[in-house]
Amino acid sequence: MKTYIPFTITTLILLLACQKNDDTVTPPGPTTPSTPGVVTIAGVAAWDALSESEKARVTSWNTLFLHQSVGTDLEDGSEANGYKFAYYGPDQQLSTGLSGGIFVDVSPGLSNGNPLEKLQVFKNNVLKHKASLRIASMKFGYADIREEDLTEVENEYVKVVDQIKAAGIRVVHITPPLVYAISENSAKMKMRTWMLQTFKQDIVFDFQDIESQTDGSRCQQNDIWRICQANRSTTSCPSKGQGVDGDGAGHLCEAAATQISKGLLYAIYQAGK
């Protein structure tokens, strides 16, 4: 005699749970050291909690932020929050307050995938303005961080940072951006861990922590983080200036950029104080 199990709501939930897509969303857990200088997703709310006069302090310090396309998303998000980065381009003229530039403009021909060259351009442009700069920051592109030369890039990064700090300039470190395809993210996560361990006395904007979370849960597959679907550039929410991504890219949806950029602004605020 056959026994029939009644189809209940509980059964439906279990069936749906077995039909997850590739994006496994789990509680983030204690992934970041409890270090005051690390700006995680909590930095977004911390920025919102500041008074307008405290927020405005970020415009009172000269800051240079060099990056590529994902950095442009962060600049666009900052502008949406009322804090625009002045353009820093091929003439290498620094403005008062927040300045931002993309590597290919500052050094024509310098494309993604050349992290060592980016580091030299970053160092040279920061030290050029050492008399007036208070804060310097660079963001690697997602194409810059690979397994094959990760140690070489990390070693050179330390040398460049040491030279900048020796000139009396504060550095905001940025963990490198993730993409949606997890096969490309292991090296980026390794560099994140290395940054958090190496620069405990500095401010680290943990970009990876923020872009890989949504609604309090971590977006990952096989314990490898990825940019959340809700944060990436898609047809329903494209990047303001970068179009719509494939899985091997990691640009920010315009709405997500507006939120995530608050973390960058908070990191600059913390470094400048």
Residue 25 resides in a domain: no
Question: How far, in Å, CA of 128 to CA of 123, rounded?
Answer: 8
Residue 132 resides in a domain: yes
Residue 228 resides in a domain: yes
Question: How far, in Å, CA of 205 to CA of 211, rounded?
Answer: 11
Could you tell me what percentage of the chain is helix, strand and coil, using 3-state DSSP and rounding each to the nearest 5? 40, 15, 45
Q: Where are the beta strands (DSSP E) in the chain?
A: 24-26, 38-39, 63-67, 86-87, 98-102, 135-138, 170-174, 203-205, 213-214, 217-221, 224-225
CB half-sphere exposure, 172, CA atoms < 13 A: 29
DSSP letter at 30?
Answer: S
Count the domains in the chain: 1
**From the CB of residue 109, how many other CB atoms can be counted at a distance below 10 Å?**
8
Could you tell me the residue range of the domain that residue 119 belongs to? 30-272
Residue 85 resides in a domain: yes
- Each of the 273 residues of the chain gets a pLDDT tens digit; together they read 444 334 343 333 333 333 334 465 655 543 444 467 999 999 999 999 999 999 999 999 999 999 999 999 999 999 999 999 999 999 999 999 999 999 999 999 999 999 999 999 999 999 999 999 999 999 999 999 999 999 999 999 999 999 999 999 999 999 999 999 999 999 999 999 999 999 999 999 999 999 999 999 999 999 999 999 999 999 999 999 998 999 999 999 999 999 999 999 999 999 999
pLDDT score, position 36 = 76
Question: How far, in Å, CA of 209 to CA of 225, rounded?
Answer: 9
User: Nearest Cα to 236, choosing from 224, 228, 244, 248?
Assistant: 244
Residue 12 resides in a domain: no
Residue 6 resides in a domain: no
pTM reported for the whole predicted model: 0.89
Residue 21 resides in a domain: no
Look up the CATH number of the domain holding residue 162: 3.40.50.1110
Residue 2 resides in a domain: no
Listed in sequence order, the residues at least 6 apart from 262 whose beta carbon sits closer than 8 Å to its beta carbon are 43, 44, 47, 48, 77, 81
pLDDT score, position 49 = 98
Residue 19 in tokens:
């039909």
pLDDT score, position 179 = 98
Listed in sequence order, the residues at least 6 apart from 79 whose beta carbon sits closer than 8 Å to its beta carbon are 85
